């Protein structure tokens, strides 16, 4: 099993964050613009783990060189079943530099957007705190 999958399924925030490149770009399934940087991406992923219920991966797909992975997952948010996929690209150092999430169905994506909207003040505060301790 891939270390990313192991970390997420264990809800090990530190291990997930350690796999993120400083310049990671996070592409949300519910936001138009991508988020840039490790601090905001790590904070978003912590928020996601707070709103996902009974989260688990069902499939892991990788290209032969190991730099691109797709992790298919199932979860529930606010009573809505969601199927989704994390598409990850790993840089030369083996860190995630591109993280794109897609989810379905629309009712699940809508529930996810609402739940993450409720988390966003905390997410911004966590990211700001992480950025201030880095400096």
Looking at the domain assignment, is residue 132 inside a domain?
A: no
CA diameter of the chain: 41
Write out pLDDT tens, residues 29-88: 988 899 999 999 999 999 999 999 999 999 999 999 989 999 999 999 999 999 999 999
pLDDT band at 119 (very low <50, low <70, confident <90, very high): confident
Domain with 29, as residue range(s), is 3-123
Looking at the domain assignment, is residue 52 inside a domain?
A: yes
pTM of the predicted model as reported, rounded to 2 decimal places? 0.91
Measure the CA angle with vertex 127, ends 125 and 128; round to 5°.
Answer: 65
Structural domains counted in the chain: 1
Q: Which residues contact 13 (CB under 8 A, 6 or more apart)?
A: 42, 45, 46, 49
Looking at the domain assignment, is residue 129 inside a domain?
A: no
Instruction: Give the model's pLDDT for residue 135.
Output: 61
Taking a C-beta distance cutoff of 8 angstroms, is the pair 94, 22 a contact? no
Tell the burial category of 114 from Cβ atoms under 10 Å away from its Cβ (0-12, 13-18, 19+): middle
pLDDT band at 101 (very low <50, low <70, confident <90, very high): very high
Write out pLDDT tens, residues 24-44: 999 999 888 999 999 999 999
Q: Domain containing 80 — which CATH number?
A: 3.10.450.50
Looking at the domain assignment, is residue 87 inside a domain?
A: yes
d(CA 35, CA 37): 7
């Amino acid at each position: 099993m891939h270390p990313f999958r192991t970390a997420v399924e264990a809800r090990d925030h530190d291990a997930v964050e350690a796999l993120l490149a400083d310049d990671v770009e996070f592409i949300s399934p519910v936001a138009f613009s991508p988020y840039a940087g490790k601090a905001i991406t790590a904070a978003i992923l912590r928020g996601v783990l707070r709103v996902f219920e009974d989260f688990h991966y069902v499939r892991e797909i990788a290209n032969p060189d190991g730099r691109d992975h797709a992790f298919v997952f199932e979860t529930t948010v606010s009573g809505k079943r969601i199927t989704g996929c994390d598409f990850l690209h790993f840089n030369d150092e083996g860190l995630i530099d591109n993280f794109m999430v897609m989810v379905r169905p629309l009712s699940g994506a809508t529930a996810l957007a609402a739940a993450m909207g409720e988390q966003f003040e905390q997410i911004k505060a966590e990211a700001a705190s992480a950025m201030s301790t880095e400096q």
